[in-house]
Chains A and B, each alone.
Chain A
Amino acid sequence: QQQVKQSPQSLIVQKGGISIINCAYENTAFDYFPWYQQFPGKGPALLIAIRPDVSEKKEGRFTISFNKSAKQFSLHIMDSQPGDSATYFCAANSPTSGTYKYIFGTGTRLKVLA
């Protein structure tokens, strides 16, 4: 019940295309869902985050779509660029109920072809 399932494991997109990464969770107590971008040898960097009271959040080329009833959320990267090539992790926790640790997905390795 604590798992966050992430797919696909890897993704190849042409420059200018849309990259879509999906995550699903079971624990309905989760109420905070961040996405992180990680380059090789670096720590994860926060991209964008959402709470379940909204269905979509957009920041620049990055959009999170959230479906509370399906317990799914996804990251869309519009106009994907070669510099977006990295590993992306979704995560979840429930700070309002006192569970502060992040549960991470298994990661999606994105490669954007020039």
Chain B
Amino acid sequence: DAGVTQSPTHLIKTRGQQVTLRCSPKSGHDTVSWYQQALGQGPQFIFQYYEEEERQRGNFPDRFSGHQFPNYSSELNVNALLLGDSALYLCASSLDRQGTQYFGPGTRLLVL
């Protein structure tokens, strides 16, 4: 049973560029949440997707957007990248919105 998978594993971008990160949830899970984890910090909630709609959002600007597909996989898009967007981006999936969240390995984004 595959767990949560994310791609790519690492990414280097320059300021002002746009990036798309991808996530496939654990088998049987229908809800995907995205978190940003800066070095040495705990993960910070970006948003949650359920039934192909953004359901809850954390304190992130609208440069951060996402999408959920009919097969429950999800994308995180970040526009106009800033140096401060450098972080580990984590995807977590759950059986439903209330369920325990299981995390993927993350995508390490470096903005130069």
Contact = CB atoms under 8 A, between A and B. Distances in A.
Decide whether A and B assemble into one complex.
Answer: yes
Interface of A: 6, 34, 36, 41-46, 49, 89, 91, 95-96, 99-107
A102 B45 contact: yes
Contacts of B42: 6, 89, 91, 104-107
Interface residues of B, number: 28
Contact of B48 (A6, A91, A101): A101
11 contacts: A6-B42, A34-B101, A36-B103, A42-B105, A43-B4, A43-B6, A89-B42, A100-B55, A102-B35, A104-B43, A107-B41
Contacts of A102: 33, 35, 43, 45, 92, 101
B56 A100 contact: yes
Interface string B53-71: 0011010000000000000
